[in-house]
Amino acid sequence: MDKQNKTIVDDMVVTLDYLLQLEDGQEIDRSDSQEPLQFLQGHGQIVPGLEQSLYGMRTGDEKKVVVAAADAYGEFDSEDFETVSRNIFPPDMALQEGEQLQLRDSESGKVFQATVSELKEDEVILDFNHPLAGETLIFQVKIADLRDATSEELGHGHVHGVGHHH
Ligand code: ZN
């Protein structure tokens, strides 16, 4: 099949140029022309609402995609906060409200993200919502390239781009 006639279906490697903004126009992220975003379509590697909207697009196609919070990083959960003791953090660690932290659960070893919501004298209130929870995301996308994944890539579940050898 001619390359230009290929349309996006599951298990294709998509190279995407994108600009991500919030509804108020604030720019959150954009693709780097030196290192464009590549992912396997249909494998949940990008936010679900964006992935769904890409089916059927061809190389060179551009589109504006509006993704509701529920199909992006989820609704904001006002219950997803936890108050912890200040002394679980090293004394010399300067915490700031709004700061994003990477925390490691000492038992499971699992790493998760939290935002410092409020600092009190002896306590810290952590917000476990994703920083983009509750936000409608507005993507301006362009399909920069499209190809079938190799069987090795499908076996690994990820794209083997330039500089990814194993
Ligand atoms: Zn691999």
Question: Looking at residue 35, what is its pLDDT?
Answer: 76
Question: Looking at residue 2, what is its pLDDT?
Answer: 55
Q: What is the mean pLDDT of each run of 10 residues along the chain (166 residues)?
A: 78 96 96 86 96 97 98 96 93 92 88 94 95 97 96 94 64
Domains and CATH numbers, the chain: 3-73+133-156 (3.10.50.40), 81-127 (2.40.10.330)
State in Å: Cα 47 to ligand 1 middle: 21
126, β-bridge pairs: 82, 116
Q: Determine phi and psi for 120, rounding to 5 degrees.
A: -115, 180
Q: CA–CA distance from 53 to each of 59, 60, 124 (Å)?
A: 15, 15, 40
Question: Looking at residue 4, what is its pLDDT?
Answer: 63
State in Å: Cα 13 to ligand 1 middle: 13
Question: Looking at residue 105, what is its pLDDT?
Answer: 82
State in Å: Cα 166 to ligand 1 middle: 6
Residue ranges with strand state E in 120-156: 123-127, 137-148
State in Å: Cα 95 to ligand 1 middle: 38
State in Å: Cα 15 to ligand 1 middle: 17
Candidates 41, 39, 33; CA nearest to 17 is: 33
Question: Looking at residue 99, what is its pLDDT?
Answer: 95
State in Å: Cα 157 to ligand 1 middle: 7
State in Å: Cα 35 to ligand 1 middle: 18
